[in-house]
Amino acid sequence: MKKNNKKFINKETFIQAIGDAFKKLNPLYMLKNPVMFVVEIGFIISLVLSVFPSLFGDISKDTNLRVYNIMVSFILFITVLFANFAESIAEGRGKAQAESLKKTQKDTTARLLMPDNTEKKIFSTELKKGDIVMVSVGEIIPGDGEVIEGIASVDESAITGESAPVVRESGGDFCSVTGGTTVVSDWLKIRITSDPGNSFLDKMISLVEGASRKKTPNEIALNTLLVSLTIIFMIVIVTLYPIGIYSGVTLKISTLIALTVCLIPTTIGGLLSAIGIAGMDRVTRFNVIAMSGKAVEACGDVDTMILDKTGTITFGNRLADDFFTVGYADKSDLIRCAALASLHDFTPEGKSTLELARKLGDTSVEVEGAEYIEFTAQTRMSGVDLPDGTKIRKGASDSIEKYILSLGGKVPADLSDEVDRIASLGGTPLTVCENDKVLGVIYLKDTVKPGMAERFERLRSIGIKTIMCTGDNPLTAATIAKEAGVDGFVAECKPEDKIEVIKKEQAEGKIVAMTGDGTNDAPALAQANVGLAMNSGTTAAKEAANMVDLDSDPTKILEVVEIGKQLLITRGSLTTFSISNDIAKYFAIIPAMFMNAIPQLAVLNIMGLASPNSAIISALIFNAIIIPCLIPLAMRGVKYRPMSSGRLLARNMMIYGLGGVITPFIAIKIIDIIINPLLKVLGIF
C-alpha cells in the first residue's frame, strides 16, 4: 500500500490558498456558507460605521467610536478570510495532488485495431468506448479498458505508487487495465471501456480538485443546524438593543455585531467545508477513488461488513499440505494418482499437489496418449484417462462418490470421516480415485492472514458486524470463521446469496459495506451502501461500486471504513468544540455590554477583563484566530480510536466539550492582557 508522507502544506499551496481566500470574498460565493456570509455582512456594516459612525442611529458618546468600529471591522474581515483560507488549503492540497496525477495523463499514441486487423496510429484522446487497441512491451496503455487477448506484466506505479508490476490477462477477474500504466512484458489486446475525460483517472483528478464535490447528507443536515442556530442568536441579539435602551445603556451597533459573530457557530461554519474536502482527500491519498462524498460519509456509518473469504480473510491459494489414505489403499498409490491427475492442472492447487508429491518421492511423468480431463463446475472433478484404460479422478468428495457408484464401486466407510476431519481443520479435501476405488484425500490448506482476528475485534468494538461469504462447505466455513474471528458466515455462497444477506441487513436499518472484483459481484456491490471494487477487477464491478481501490487490496475496506469514521468524528468533535466556545464568550461580552448600567453584572466578569471594549475585542480576536489554529486538525482529522459509540461520545465531550469551554477562558484572558495597553494608547479603553 502506498504510504503518504507528504507535508501538511507546502509553500506553493500556502501562497495559492491566500490568493483563493481573497477571491472567495465574493458575496455570491459566500452565500454557499450562510454562517460566514452573516460574518461578511457584519464586516460590511462595521466598515460603513467606521466611516459614518452615526449612520444607523449609533449615538454613543464614545469619541473614539470610529477607531473602535475600524478594529471590529478588521477582525471580522480577518475572520472571514481565515474561514476562506481553511477551505482554500483543503482545495489546494487536492489541486496539488491532481497536478501530480495529471502528469501521468500523457497524450500518447494508440495503436487502434481496425476491422480488417490493420493498425492505425491515433492520439489516445481520440479513442472512444468500444475501440480495440494493441499495446506491447514498453508502451503506455492509452485508456481504461479490459484485456480481451494476451497476458502481460503491467507497471501501475504511476497510479498506485507500487513499484512491483502486476499481471493482467484476458478473462477472469484480473482483466481490467488503467490508462497511464505501462506494459513491461509481452503484449495485450484491450477493449477501451471509457470515453475521453471519463476514465477513472479523470474522475480521480476531478474529485481531488473538489470540482465535483457535493455536500453530503450529514453535512447538509449540520449546515441546516448551524443556520438555525445563527437565526436564533440573531433574533436574541436584535432584542438586546431595546433592552439596553430600557436599561439606560446605548449599545454600539458594532458591539452587537461582534456579539452576533462571537455567538453564532463561526468556528465550525468556517471549517465545515474544509473537513469534507479533507475527508475526500484522505481517501484519495489512500489510493481509493470515491465516486462521491456521500460514499465516504456512508463508510463512517457502516454497521455490517460483507467480506469474501478468499483473498480477503485468507491468502486465497489453497495449497496441498498432506495426503490421507482411506480404506485399505496404499499411500504410494494415492500420491502417484494425485500426481498423474495434476500433471496438466495448472491451478495453484494442482501445482502444489504435484510439488508435494515430488517432495515425497513421486516420479510420475506424462504418458503418451493419455487424455487429461479438465475441471468443470458441472463435474467438479479433473483427472486423466491413461492408454491402458485406467481412469484417475480427483475432485469434490460428493462428486467422486457419485462417480465411483456409477462405476459399480463402493465408497469406503471412513471417507466421510476423513473429509469432515479435514474440513473441520479449515482445509479443503480433494478426494482421489483410481477406476472404481477411492484411494484417499488430498488436504488443501488455506491460511487466515495474520492480524485479521485483531482487526475484526477492532471493528466489533465499534459495533460493526462482519459476515464472511465463501463457497466452501459449512464445516470449512465455520472453521475459518472461528479462526478469523468474524461474527457470521454464509457457506456455499452464490452471488444471489450475497444480495440476500445485504438486503436482510438493510431491512433492519443497517448500513452495509462489501468488496468485490468480479462481474458476479456487481449486483451485490450496487446493492450495498458502500461497494468497494478492485481496480484489477471487471468493468462491471467498478461501474456498480461507489468506490474503486487502485491497489486492488480487498482488506482495504477495513481502513476505508475507519477513514469514514474519522470524517464523522472530526466533524462532530469540532462542532462540539465550536458550540462549547460560546460559554466563555458570554462571560466576556454580556457583562461588558451592561456593566456600566448594571454594576452587579461585574460578578460575571470572572476572567477579570480590563474593560468593556477590551473584553469585546479580545473575544472577537479569539473567535477569529481559533479558525486557523484548527485547520491542521480539520485537515488531518481527529485521531480515530476504535471504541463503542457511548465511550466515543464521552471521550469527545471530555476533550472537545470541556476543552472548548476551558480554552477560550484562558485564551481571551491572555489576549486581553496583550491588547489592553494598545487600547489605552488608542483611547478606546
CA 584 – CA 184 distance, rounded (Å)? 63
Angle at 263 between CA 258 and CA 269, to 5 degrees: 105
- Which residues does the annotation place in the binding site for ATP? 345, 349, 375-382, 394
CA 473 – CA 394 distance, rounded (Å)? 17
- Own/partner contacts of 381-385, CB < 8 Å, gap of 24 or more, are 382/341, 382/345, 382/350, 383/341, 384/340, 384/341, 384/343, 384/344
Which SS3 state, helix, strand or coil, does residue 189 take? strand
- Which stretches within 147-305 are classed as H helix? 157-160, 200-209, 217-246, 253-263, 266-285, 293-300
- Which residues does the annotation place in the binding site? 345, 349, 375-382, 394, 517, 521
Q: Which contiguous run of DSSP H or E holds residue 110?
A: strand 109-113
**The three three-digit cell numbers of residue 99, written as one number:** 497536478
Which SS3 state, helix, strand or coil, does residue 554 take? coil
Q: Which residues of 162-195 are buried (b: 16+ CB within 10 A; e: fewer)?
A: beebbebebeebbbbbbbbbbbeebebbbbbbbe
Residue 266: CB atoms within 10 Å: 28
Residue 30: CB atoms within 10 Å: 20
CA 486 – CA 225 distance, rounded (Å)? 38
- Which residues does the annotation place in the binding site for Mg(2+)? 517, 521
Phi-psi region of 440 (alpha: psi -120 to 50; beta: other; left: phi over 0): left
- Per the CB < 8 A criterion, the answer to whether 279 and 544 are in contact is no
Which residues are catalytically annotated?
308
Distances (CA, A) of 510 to 112, 299, 327: 47, 12, 51
